[in-house]
Amino acid sequence: MKDTLGGEITANHVGKLYDAVITTLAELKEVGDLDLGFNAWFQEIGDVKAEGEFGQFKFFHSLYEASHPLIEDTPDIWSLPASDARYPSYDVPVNPTAYDGRPTSIEDTDLRALAWLGNMNYWSMLLLLDSAYRSSSTPEVALAQTIMMGPLNSIARYLPTRGSAVPFDPLSLGFNPGLNAAANKRVTHLMLQETRDFARSIENLLPADFNIEIYDQLLNEA
């Protein structure tokens, strides 16, 4: 893989991120002033890390080696021209952003608008997950999954066919979106409302399988 990427490009390892989180948790545990159920979190993070390092790595490695069942029957599939219908990847930009005025901003205004809607769905999903983990709320996990498998998935699948991609731009809200649980819920509702309203404003650009009505359901249940 290093030969393919070239000597100056280093592959990112997600495991290092989890190691950093585990190290920080261990430092908090040593302080002794907080009771956060550290052992349970060590187990949870370790399980997620193992899933990424083994299950997900095995999947991506099978794509890289062309041994995945969906592509293994096509000889030298990665040597095909990108224009070939059998080529298993789209040509998408490197490190795009939907923020305007940046060096890697998506130039096409319609595609940038769709990418921004992708960002908003991503942020809404993260807010729901944040709240779910803080309060052990299974319904909020289900709502986050609804966004991931619904509108976010729709945009993420459509943009590469147009030579673009969801950039998953960061939105810094700090460690805690609001001052308390009620404020967090309000922030999540505001984000969902903003996402719904923006989706409606660019409805003519939305992919054919995009369900714009899902936001009213999310707002009623979140």
User: Does pTM surpass 0.85?
Assistant: no
- Ranges assigned E (strand) in 42-91: none
Domain boundaries, the chain: 1-89, 93-222
Asked whether the predicted pLDDT for residue 47 surpasses 80, the reply is yes
Q: For 166-175, what is each residue's pLDDT tens digit?
A: 999 998 777 7
User: pLDDT at position 143, please?
Assistant: 96
State the average pLDDT for the chain.
89
8 Å CB contact between 69 and 78: no
Predicted confidence at residue 28, as pLDDT, reads: 85
Q: Output the pLDDT for position 4.
A: 64
Q: Is the pLDDT of residue 5 over 70?
A: no
HSE on the CB side for 176, CA within 13 Å? 8
CA angle, corner 211, sides to 205 and 214, nearest 5? Answer: 130
- The per-residue b/e assignment along 132-162, b for 16 or more CB within 10 angstroms, e otherwise, is beeeeeeebeebbebbbebbbbbbbebbeee
Q: Which of 8-17, 65-74, 185-194 has the lowest mean pLDDT?
A: 8-17
